[in-house]
Structure 1
């Protein structure tokens, strides 16, 4: 039986595909901008996430395992297995790179007409320097696999202090000001504050029904550990925050 978190991930990437698309341009400094903003927020790194989710090739069901294993070899993780989601075959493989960076590859057979959907996740927590190294490794392996998709990047960390809603919103606004970003939409509840914005300084752009966005910042208070959790992502946060 496939784990529910995989279904959630596929739902997320499907929403991104249906309602938005990544528009490439010539900027190449997105990762450095994100890291600099995170450092200036004086947050302690908890984890970073690199994510690619794209419609992939037309593959017959009997070819799914071989294609999945071919991709797993390129991304230097063990061969995987076939499971099923709603009777549709689903390839899953997991492995690790240096510094215990986790890599997960999923290839889902949607149907005969739409082909497959490919998801690759890279998750680490060693250091921001290691994030840069993993990003370069990930990019090179994507090129080797002839995958030209942009990389969604998220950084999550903690601030050892309780920030109330006003303080969290001020933190988010300060970050957006450093990015020269214009707010597109916001979500404010008792539990979480999230702002999506657009900045000319970031190269990737998500085109949604509400317009263009390429940076998202979110915060929430962790009462158990008395910490404020900060998550920033470009062009959008693709993890739970």
Structure 2
């Protein structure tokens, strides 16, 4: 169990470093939703994710208070504090809006230092079609992060399904064409296709071995429902696909 927890800590922190500097403009969610629906997919779930280290160090004696302030600002459940050998992890979750839930993770991987810069992860999950409630919660997150000296770094992913008509790549090709996107990297198997690309219609991005990317599209077949699962994310997909 401890090995799994330490692996998760390392994964979250690596992801924050990998995505550092990328921002999702408020219009990015609407762009992705419009393209998603235009290829015939029915939205089923979506995730708005913030992940970054804080820029201003927090004193070790004030860490619990800092996390408590975040939890209170987001009106989440009481914080669960776990102490591991190399890190202290704070976790809390709760309902943050109609059909929306949020999970807050604060990871202090420098627990012995007097001052440290923990990694903050906030995931907001919703079902169905993103709407005004997501926009309201996004604005709330921006205010909470700014008030605690944290620069927002948002990533948005939407996932759904559609009838299985032809090959796996059809909705991906259609979506990337509508986004005027150029392929950067890809992963293709008989069961799953994932393509990373860059589009001028979305801001920001991150550098990979293949170049700068700010959109990822993936598709696989759900053999139980005989439907195609389609996922679209910027700058990358942040949920299982």
TM-score range for the pair, normalised by the shorter chain length: 0.7 to 0.9
- In the alignment, is residue 128 of structure 1 matched against residue 126 of structure 2? no
In the superposition, relative to structure 1, how do residues 114 and 66 fare at CA in structure 2: closer, same or farther (>3 Å)? closer
In the superposition, relative to structure 1, how do residues 18 and 145 fare at CA in structure 2: closer, same or farther (>3 Å)? closer
Give how far 1:114 is off. Answer: 5.7
RMSD of aligned residue pairs (Cα, Å): 2.6
- Equivalence for 2:226: 226
Distance across 1 between alignment mates of 2:165 and 2:187: 17
1:33 corresponds, among 31, 34, 39, to 31
Structure 1: which 5+ residue stretches go unaligned? Answer: none
Q: How many residues align?
A: 236
Counterpart secondary structure, 2:124: strand
CA deviation vs aligned residue, 1:192-228 (integer Å, no higher than 9, x gap) = 1100000111112112343211000011111112121
Pairwise mapping of residues 184-195 of structure 1 onto structure 2 (< 5 A)? 184-195=184-195
- Equivalence for 1:147: 150
What TM-score does the superposition give when structure 2 sets the normalisation length?
Answer: 0.86
Distance across 2 between alignment mates of 1:76 and 1:88: 25
Distance across 2 between alignment mates of 1:222 and 1:44: 14
Distance across 2 between alignment mates of 1:135 and 1:5: 29
Give how far 1:53 is off. Answer: 1.1
Q: Is the 8 A contact 2:17 2:52 kept in 1?
A: no
What TM-score does the superposition give when structure 1 sets the normalisation length?
Answer: 0.86
- Equivalence for 2:42: 44
Give how far 1:62 is off. Answer: 4.2
CA deviation vs aligned residue, 1:107-151 (integer Å, no higher than 9, x gap) = 111113863111111111143214334333333333333322221
- Equivalence for 1:71: 70
Give how far 1:18 is off. Answer: 3.9
Structure 2: which 5+ residue stretches go unaligned? Answer: none
Q: Is the 8 A contact 1:61 1:89 kept in 2?
A: no
